[in-house]
């Protein structure tokens, strides 16, 4: 069985280091079609049936940069067998913003918490079980630079790919936003019938699109048909009333709140933490 596993993460999270450790020297660097963003592909050095693809480093999956559009299109349209989301453990709160958005695509995903050498040196204690339980996916500590934790990481990635384990539906949004997402989803899926075989993946794509429409995502909104637009404009108008006129800002705010809560429950920082500013 062949697998495609994509690496996604913030810039500087150690994505290239991990990619090089996993693939050894046999990698191919090209460009993503139409843009001069590096596209690196290789095979896992311990199992040649596993293809590893390095997505561009991003903080988010917004429509505003080529890197983010490449990363999200690849995840939602190509649907790799699994995503490894590499996270900088010394900066976990900021990095989990992307994690939430990857989880929202309903793709099998494993979170790799990197830089665990620095995390341990600084006295930060991360409760991996709690994070894993909260997301409903494996969360694995690694030190990419020393190759530590990578066997476990790859075992977990293959496991979620085989089992098609998708993350939990997280309770991030408020009832106003959820009502709008569900209503947009109904509009997006009322137009056509999907075969049983395609239904699960189509549903995941449409649910993701529904979130993006409520976020006022230019690209996804631009793909709406003229039939869909009037109903969707009405749904968004209603949602905006309860979101101080800005559902995009509201959604971002709710994501940050979710992460802040989760981190306060699962990451213990030492009382006298000295910022190194590195
Ligand atoms: P990318 O931007 O995500 O591709 O990140 P890089 O792979 O270029 O890594 C960013 C920096 O973090 C480099 O200086 C790496 O050597 C360093 N780095 C990567 N992994 C680790 C790790 O596990 N521990 C520590 N301490 N540094 C790491
Ligand atoms: Mg890199
Ligand atoms: K560093």
Ligand 1 neighbour 38 (Cβ under 6 A): no
Residue 1 pLDDT grade (very low, low, confident, very high; cuts 50, 70, 90): confident
Residue 38 reports pLDDT greater than 80: no
Q: Which two tokens stand for residue 204?
A: 């995941």
Strands of the chain (E only): list them: 3-9, 27-31, 38-44, 47-54, 82-88, 109-114, 125-126, 139-141, 267-268
What separation in angstroms does the CA of 203 have from each of 34, 53, 193, 194?
A: 28, 25, 11, 9
Residue 169 pLDDT greater than 90, yes or no: no
CA distance 109 to 144: 18
Pocket probe for ligand 1: among 9, 11, 14, the residue whose CB has the most ligand atoms within 8 Å is 14
Ligand 1: does its nearest atom lie under 6 Å from the Cβ of 143?
A: yes
**What is the reported pTM?**
0.92
User: CA-CA distance, 109 to 84, in Å (whole number)?
Assistant: 6
Which of 263, 156, 167 lies closest to 208, judged by CA?
A: 167
* Residues flagged as binding site: 9-16, 20, 23-24, 34-38, 54-57, 114-117
Closest to 65 in 3D by CA, of 42, 35, 96: 35
Helix (H, G, I), strand (E, B) or coil at 119: helix
pLDDT at 25: 65
Phi then psi for residue 97, to 5 deg, are -60, -40
Note residues around ion ligand 2 (Cβ under 5 angstroms). 15-16
With contact defined as beta carbons under 8 Å apart, do 262 and 131 qualify? yes
* Nearest-angstrom CA–CA distance, 166 and 82: 9
pLDDT, position 62: 93
Strands 38-44 and 82-88: unpaired
Check if 120 has its Cβ closer than 6 Å to any atom of ligand 1: no
Ligand 1 neighbour 117 (Cβ under 6 A): yes
pLDDT at 92 over 90: yes
Residue 138 near ligand 1, beta carbon < 6 Å: no
HSE, CB side, 13 Å, CA atoms: give it for residue 239. Answer: 30
Q: Is 56 exposed, middle or buried (0-12, 13-18, 19+ CB in 10 A)?
A: buried
How many A from CA of 15 to the centre of ligand 2? 5
Distance of CA 218 to the CA centre of its chain: 19
CB of 211 closer than 8 Å to CB of 181:
yes
Using CA positions, which residue lies closest to atom 13 of ligand 1? 14
pLDDT confidence band for 35 (50 / 70 / 90): confident
Mutate to test the pocket of ligand 1, among 86, 112, 141, 145 (most ligand atoms within 8 A of CB): 145
Q: How far apart are CA 24 and CA 114, in angstroms?
A: 18
Q: For 35-39, 190-194, 233-237, 250-254, which range has the lowest pLDDT when averaged over its residues?
A: 190-194
Verify whether ligand 1 is closer than 6 Å to residue 13 (CB atom).
yes
Q: Which tokens is 3 given? A: 């697998």
Beginning with the edge strand found earlier in the chain, give each strand of the sheet holding 82-88 in spatial order. Answer: 27-31, 38-44, 47-54, 3-9, 82-88, 109-114, 139-141
Annotated binding site for Mg(2+): 20, 23-24
- Across the range 158-178, mean pLDDT stands at 93
Candidate of 13, 17, 115 to mutate for ligand 1, largest count of ligand atoms within 8 Å of Cβ: 17
Is 118 a pocket residue for ligand 1 (Cβ < 6 Å)? yes
Q: What is the pLDDT of residue 242?
A: 92
Per-residue confidence (pLDDT) for residue 89, from 0 to 100: 98
What's the gap in Å between 255 CA and the centre of ligand 1?
A: 26
Q: Is the pLDDT of residue 26 over 70?
A: no
ipTM: 0.97
Q: Please give the biggest Cα pair distance in the chain.
A: 58
Report the distance separating Cα 220 and Cα 250, nearest Å.
Answer: 18
């Amino acid at each position: 069985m062949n697998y495609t596993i994509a690496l996604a993460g913030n810039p500087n999270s150690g994505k290239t280091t991990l990619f090089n450790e996993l693939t050894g020297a046999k990698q191919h660097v090209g460009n993503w079609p139409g843009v001069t963003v590096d596209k690196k592909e290789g095979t896992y050095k311990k199992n040649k049936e596993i293809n590893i693809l390095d997505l561009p480093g991003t903080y988010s999956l917004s429509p505003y940069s080529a890197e983010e559009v490449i990363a999200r299109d690849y995840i939602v349209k190509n649907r790799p067998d699994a995503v490894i989301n590499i996270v900088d453990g010394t900066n976990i709160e900021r990095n989990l913003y992307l994690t939430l958005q990857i989880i929202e695509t309903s793709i099998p995903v494993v979170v790799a918490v990197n830089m665990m050498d620095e995390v341990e040196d600084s006295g930060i204690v991360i409760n991996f079980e709690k994070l894993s339980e909260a997301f409903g996916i494996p969360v694995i500590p690694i030190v990419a630079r020393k190759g530590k934790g990578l066997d476990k990481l790859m075992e977990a990635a293959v496991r979620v790919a085989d089992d098609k384990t998708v993350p939990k539906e997280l309770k991030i949004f408020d009832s106003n936003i959820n009502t709008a997402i569900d209503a947009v989803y109904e509009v997006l899926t009322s137009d056509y019938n999907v075969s049983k075989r395609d239904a699960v993946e189509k549903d995941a794509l449409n649910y993701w699109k529904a979130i993006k429409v409520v976020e006022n995502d230019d690209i996804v909104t631009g793909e709406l048909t003229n039939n869909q637009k009037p109903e969707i404009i009405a749904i968004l108008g209603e949602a905006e009333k309860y979101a101080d006129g800005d559902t995009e800002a509201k959604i971002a705010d709710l994501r940050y709140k979710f992460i802040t809560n989760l981190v306060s429950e699962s990451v213990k920082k030492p009382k006298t933490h000295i910022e190194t500013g590195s």
